[in-house]
Amino acid sequence: MSMGGKALANIRFVWTCWKLNLASAMEYRLSFLLLAGMMFVNNTIWLFFWGLFFNRFPIVQGWELHDVMMLWAVSTGGFGWAAMLFGNFSRIAGIVATGQLDVQLSQPRPVLLSVLVSRCSVTAAGDLLFGVAVYLMVGDTSLRGLLLFGLALLISGALFIAVMVLAGCSAFWIGHAEGMTQQLFQSFIALTTYPSDIFRGVVRLALFSLVPAGFISYMPIGLLRDFDPLFAAGAVGMACGLTVAAALLFRQGLRRYASGNAIAMRS
Amino acid sequence: MIEESGSRWAAGRKAAAVGRIAFRHQLAYKTDFAMRGFFLLFILFVFIQLWSAAYGGDYELVISGFTLKQIVWYLVFTEALTMAAPPLCSRIEEEVKNGDVAIRLIRPQSYVGYHFSVFASEALTRFAVHLLVGSAIAWPFVGPPAFGIGWLGLLALSVGALTVTFLLLMLVGLCAFWVEETSGLYFVLQKLQFTIGGMLLPIDLMPEWLQRICAWLPFQAALYYPAKMAVHFDAALLGRQLAIQIGWIVLLALAVSQMYRRGVTKLHVNGG
């Protein structure tokens, strides 16, 4: 099969998986609505906290309530689409450690892609909806603003996926790394929901390199409020670079993968 | 009379034995402690950065009665208390889902009492460990916790605070007898504790209208009271807050008891 043909087949495969995931989620419609609604309420209560905080401290390191609201829109929105469409990105370590890759290895599709699209997080629908709702409420809804917000969501989601796949790949070398990667996951999410400018020195440097949460948490300022081409290029570069690195590391790790004898029929 | 006191004595011994087993059980999971400790360190580091930025790094500035040092130590205490609570709701939910609740119900110990013994043992151990871990990060950033008698206030109110937390979690957990899935309700309860319970922000810093609402809710008795008393000891207020805690404990215990009595008749166990 030619390269173009392969790509088309993969796109069709991904599309079919997404449709099936959605149909599966819709099978338990009430549960889906409750879980997504719960996440929406959860995020709203966080914004309520920020409202109280900025009521007392109106400007913190140049950040206002509006900026933090946009930060939550970008972070939850980015996480939302990533977890809805590529729901296994935070579970790679567990999947590898328990030998569940066997199912994907037997399919004629790219293994990483197949793993990522085989799950849809239903609570993430609430996150995505929340992100969009906050954007519509306080964001710039002009065409330029819409495009920039779309770009911010793309970068944010790609970074979530890439960072967690990279962390999850550690399971190929050290075995059971679920606890560690879950801690990293929680910490990374937390870092993306606090204004990046509250951090200084080495920590700030780490936020824009080692743990690139800063590329998400600075977006309300560097991309949406005062467009900084250098920051935008850095964020796009980091998202693309880490995505490629994650795919390469996964491929490298796959060579070390030992089957868990967990082949089972999936209906 | 003698028979009644004997049965109470036996119930107390059973509760103590369950508590001892829960304590030993925890010691077996050191990685779990280490993970929680790491997350506590991390989140307190983030809070210290946030509040330092809010105060502009000014250690002398007083806002609503709090200096930066007091705010940071306040957060150490509220975080230590919050993270001390074991996942009671998910445990009850699992027991109902997999049928283990049937085994619990036939044991010669009250179902709620059993969970309270486990909760108390785990929560007190975790609270002590979290205080040490939290101190390890707050001390280098804002100085030692020289709160004198405030520590006594913290300890006096923490027992009641954890009991209120247990009863609130039990109320949500018992919903599993009707609906099985309680994670949504738990999420909402948790976030209410974070915000109007004063975990992230002392209630004194909230607007007047919200402070008035908080005063009528049990959440502040579970977090705000002990943490505030530690950094701002007030003997007169201590007695009042202890009385409020006791009031909430009685009220919530009655609600738990009613709910348990009704819930257990609705329960259908498959498997176990």
* ipTM computed for the complex: 0.86
Instruction: Please identify among residues 166-185 of chain B the ones whose CB lies closer than 8 Å to any CB of chain A.
Output: 181, 183-184
**Lookup result for tokens 């059971």:** A176
pLDDT of residue B2: 56
Q: Is residue B35 less than 8 Å (CB to CB) from chain A?
A: yes
- Report the percentage of chain A scoring pLDDT > 90: 70
Q: Is residue B195 less than 8 Å (CB to CB) from chain A?
A: yes
* CB pair distance less than 8 Å for B54 and A57: yes
Determine the average pLDDT of the residues in B155-174: 96
pLDDT of residue A122: 82
Per residue in A212-231, pLDDT (tens digit) is 999 999 999 999 999 999 99
A38 vs chain B: nearest CA distance in angstroms?
A: 6
pLDDT of residue B3: 61
Helices B88-98 + B150-174 axis angle, to 10:
20
**Is residue B261's pLDDT more than 50?**
yes
Contacts of B52 (CB under 8 A, 6+ apart): A198, B68, B141
Q: Which residues of A touch B63 (CB under 8 A)?
A: 56
Dihedral (CA of B50, B54, B58, B60) sign: negative
Q: Which residues of A touch B207 (CB under 8 A)?
A: 52, 55
* CB pair distance less than 8 Å for B188 and A38: yes
Q: Which of B31, B50, B205 lies closest to A179 in CB terms?
A: B31
b/e burial code for range B232-242 (CB count within 10 A of at least 16 → b): bbeeeebeebb
What pairs with residue A168 in β-bridges?
none
What CA–CA distances, in Å, run from A237 to A78, A208, A215? 17, 12, 10
Contacts of A256 (CB under 8 A, 6+ apart): A172, A173
* CB pair distance less than 8 Å for A56 and B43: no
- The whole-angstrom separation of Cα B77 and Cα B161 is 12
Dihedral (CA of B57, B68, A53, B132) sign: positive
pLDDT of residue A42: 87
pLDDT of residue A262: 58
Residue A261: band (very low, low, confident or very high) from pLDDT cuts 50, 70, 90: low
**Is residue A66's pLDDT more than 70?**
yes
Query: Which among A91, A134, A81 has a CA at the least distance from the CA of A115?
Result: A91
pLDDT of residue B109: 82
* CB pair distance less than 8 Å for A198 and B200: no
At position A50, the amino acid (one-letter code) is W
Determine the average pLDDT of the residues in B58-75: 94
Contacts of B241 (CB under 8 A, 6+ apart): B157, B221, B225, B229
Q: Which residues of A touch B68 (CB under 8 A)?
A: none
Q: Which of B52, B188, B201 lies closest to A41 in CB terms?
A: B188
* CB pair distance less than 8 Å for B35 and A183: yes
- The whole-angstrom separation of Cα B258 and Cα A150 is 51
**Is residue B181's pLDDT more than 60?**
yes
The mean pLDDT of chain A is 91
Residue A266: band (very low, low, confident or very high) from pLDDT cuts 50, 70, 90: low
